[in-house]
Amino acid sequence: MVHIIRTGRNQLWLWAVVLLPVAGSAAYVLAEVLPEAMGSRGVRKAQAGVVQLLDPERELRATRDSLALADTAFNRLRLADAYAALGRLDEALPLYEQALVLVGGDDARLAIKTARSAFEAGDTARARALLDRTPPLSTAADQDRRMLLDARVREATGDLKGALPILRDVATRLAGDEARCRLAGVLIALDRPGEARPVLEEVAARAKRLTARQRAPEKDMYAWAAARLAEMRG
């Protein structure tokens, strides 16, 4: 606590140490003391994680301040990303749209990010409109991500037959298993389990090669795939 006060650190650390003496002190040493002593990239990454845990709205406050100083497309985009990271999509979407207007509407990546935000906020019509007028993307990877979002919008609006060929295509290229799981889901919804099963078998085989930590961000997806495969095998 003396070190926190003498070095002028964020006063939230005082509360962390008072309320959680062991864990709070360990977190403070890891996040504030070791980086100065070691300058390690790994420690800096751990520091960011601890700070995010203790103060999840830190980036949001910083980006608000930046926008107040300079109302630019970049700062609006940063603030939108900060809101999106906190799951506050209704607040993120207008900022993405404003940033898109400020750059003239010809930034394809920003247009896709705006469309994804609209879709995840439940506005499929807005997402569809943005996708339809998105300018050409410069890389194959960006184009594949656009196609996956297109398939998700079609699926959400009941156009399963329209989503199917898109998912078949991007599932062969995109990293991860989201496209494969969505492909299997569409095939099941179309009452074509015989075609869905080999896709799920591939997902299961790939999942076994991942560590628990690697699977963690998509654990619900892998659990869904395993459950559907178990039903088919049963």
The pLDDT value recorded for residue 47 is: 55
Do 161 and 203 lie in a common domain? yes
Domain total for the chain? Answer: 3
CATH code (residue 231): 1.25.40.10
pTM of the model: 0.71
Long-range contacts from 106-113, C-beta under 8 angstroms, 24+ separation: 106/135, 107/135, 108/134, 108/135, 108/136, 108/137, 108/138, 108/142, 109/137, 109/142, 110/77, 111/135, 112/137, 112/142, 112/145, 112/146, 112/149
Instruction: Give a yes or no: residue 63 inside a domain.
Output: no
Rounded distance between C-alpha atoms, residue 8 and residue 10, angstroms: 7
Do 196 and 103 lie in a common domain? no
The pLDDT value recorded for residue 37 is: 62
Upper half-sphere CA count for residue 148 (Cβ side, 13 Å): 22
Instruction: Give a yes or no: residue 62 inside a domain.
Output: no
Do 102 and 30 lie in a common domain? no
In terms of residue numbers, what domain contains 189? 137-234
> To 5 degrees, how large is the angle CA 225–CA 128–CA 132?
120
Tens-digit pLDDT profile for the chain (234 aa)? 888 887 777 777 888 888 888 887 888 877 777 766 655 555 555 555 555 556 678 888 888 888 888 988 889 999 999 988 888 888 999 999 999 888 887 788 888 989 999 999 899 999 999 999 887 787 888 899 999 999 999 999 999 999 999 999 999 998 889 999 999 999 999 999 999 999 999 999 999 998 888 888 899 999 999 999 999 988
Instruction: Give a yes or no: residue 64 inside a domain.
Output: no
Do 120 and 147 lie in a common domain? no
Instruction: Give a yes or no: residue 194 inside a domain.
Output: yes
Do 44 and 97 lie in a common domain? no
Instruction: Give a yes or no: residue 27 inside a domain.
Output: yes
Do 153 and 228 lie in a common domain? yes
Do 37 and 103 lie in a common domain? no
